[in-house]
Amino acid sequence: MDTASKRYIDVTNEAKTKLAKLFKCTETFVYMALTYRKDSPLAKKIRYVAKRDYDGKAMRHCPECETLHNLTEDGRQLMVQNFDNGVKLEVDKGTGNVVAYNRMGEHIGNWENVSIQKLTEIQLYAESL
């Protein structure tokens, strides 16, 4: 089971303390709200104020992998990502197409005209294989 939040609001420790005082709650609750582990109306207010008043940045965890930017002989620009589990993603920068290969080099997936948000989902999928 994955216990780490995929997204969070990044603020300073000082801001977390101020948010706890402002909303009359514990710093633990502020932490839970900022990491989306709580989704109550109070947690939503804390996230909103953190972004609005304390320069909070919405962040997302992405898998760590080796990323190479290659130019093929035929002029295609590729971003190649190699994950620890042996999965390899090839992203064509011109078309936005993504191809995935397993550790044996066998084709395991293909996506066309991929957005950045969809690429993040594909990366998480590749990491989980």
Domain count, the chain: 2
> Is 26 part of any domain?
yes
Judge if 70 and 112 occupy the same domain.
yes
Judge if 90 and 106 occupy the same domain.
yes
Judge if 21 and 37 occupy the same domain.
yes
Instruction: Quote the tokens at residue 101.
Output: 């290969």
CA nearest to 68, candidates 84, 55, 81: 81
- What would the DSSP string read from start to end of 37-51? S--SHHHHHHHHHHH
Cα torsion 126, 4, 118, 123 to 10°: value is -20
> Is 2 part of any domain?
no
- Do β-strands 77-82 and 98-101 pair in parallel, antiparallel, or remain unpaired? unpaired
Q: What is the pLDDT along the chain (129 residues), one digit of tens a residue?
A: 344 557 899 999 999 999 999 999 999 999 999 999 999 999 999 999 999 999 999 887 766 789 999 998 999 999 999 998 999 999 999 999 999 999 999 999 999 999 988 998 899 889 888
Judge if 70 and 124 occupy the same domain.
yes
Judge if 14 and 35 occupy the same domain.
yes
Judge if 50 and 21 occupy the same domain.
yes
Q: Which residue has the tokens 């130019």?
A: 71
